[in-house]
């Protein structure tokens, strides 16, 4: 389990296809209110955050984007990989109104791990979607 108290920078990765129709408001609100997938983050910590998409299927662009961030933030601010956590958005990790769970999730986790970054899952957890998952309307993701 990732200790988010030891992190300074949160990178929220959202599905590129879903972002064509989703503003990302619920993820941003969940982060700022520390609810859903962000409930483990202390409210008094002034985390910096960056939102990006995976770049589209198969998600390989996420490695280039995160690699660029790692190099830039180290050079300009001295922040190392150990201070960064990647949070995969619920639109990628769970079946929901926008789409099914990302079929490339394991591959994305592998790409992020190759960069030496910690990864967490889920952002906004919608009550209606959770009910639908429990009712079998949406597939329950591990």
For residues 46 and 97, the model is more confident at: 46
Assign domain 4-123 to a CATH class.
alpha beta
- The structure's pTM equals 0.88
* pLDDT tens-digit readout, 6-24: 999 999 999 999 999 899 9
Residue 39's pLDDT band (cuts 50, 70, 90): very high
3-state secondary structure the chain: CCCHHHCCEEEEEECCCHHHCCCCHHHHHHHHHCCHHHCCCCCCCCCEEEEEECCCCCCCHHHHHHHHHHHHHHHHHCCCHHHEEEEECHHHHCCCCCCCCCCCHHHHHHHHHHCCCEEEECCCCCHHHHHHHHCCCCCCCC
């Amino acid at each position: 389990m990732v200790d988010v108290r030891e992190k300074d920078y949160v990178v929220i990765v959202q599905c590129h296809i879903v972002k064509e129709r989703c503003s990302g408001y619920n993820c941003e609100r969940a982060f700022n209110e520390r609810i859903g997938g962000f409930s483990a983050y202390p409210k008094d910590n002034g985390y910096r955050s960056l939102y990006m998409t995976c770049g589209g299927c198969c998600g390989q662009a996420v490695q280039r984007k995160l690699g660029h961030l790692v190099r830039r933030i180290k050079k300009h601010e001295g922040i190392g990989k150990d201070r960064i956590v990647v949070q995969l958005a619920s639109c990628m990790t769970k079946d929901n109104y926008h789409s099914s769970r990302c079929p490339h999730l394991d591959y994305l986790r592998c790409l992020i791990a190759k960069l030496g970054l910690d990864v967490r899952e889920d952002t906004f957890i919608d009550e209606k979607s959770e009910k639908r998952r429990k009712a079998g309307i949406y597939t329950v993701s591990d």
